[in-house]
Amino acid sequence: MSPNGILSILEVNALPTEQFEWLFGNVIEHCPEAAGWVATKRPFLSTESLRNAFDDYLDKLKNHEKENVLIKHPDLAGKLAEGKLTTESQNEQKCAGLDEMTREEKQTLANLNAMYKEKFHFPFVICARENKVAAILSGIENRLNNSPETELEVGIQEVKKICRIRLLDVVWSDAR
């Protein structure tokens, strides 16, 4: 998870809006409107302030809008074999080892995903780059015990983690 960004925060601030929106359009999965909103908050003093702007975008959403953000995420390992994931999601799921699960693990995850979606009406979201298969299976099992309100917030916190990592794939870390 080393920050390997390709642009400095000064370069990010100088991007034309259209390029900014294209470059950051999927730091929140299938949510280019977030990049459009964040683009209007420039200039950023640091990578951290850019990250905070994406967090602010998510925090300002109404609950049904937060649910829509979560709905845009793929089922873990569900579309991996079908090749229908965004490049970012595909790489993240491979980092977690989801492409190397046993048949039993795949079936367990499929069953847990179905139970989760039935209860919460959105897919289970976890930052795959911070977890491996065992932690993901344990996480979904544990989070099935949450209330819908709690799980909505936990899911959005996981989206923020994913977003932060994706941002550092593009922008140099302030720690450089």
Active site residues: 73
- CA separation, residue 81 to residues 50, 56, 76, 121 (Å): 34, 34, 11, 23
- Tracing tokens 């720690």 back to the chain, one arrives at 175
Which residues lie across from 7 on neighbouring strands?
171
Q: Are 123 and 116 in contact (CB under 8 A)?
A: yes
Residue 46's CB is within 10 A of a number of other CB atoms, namely: 12
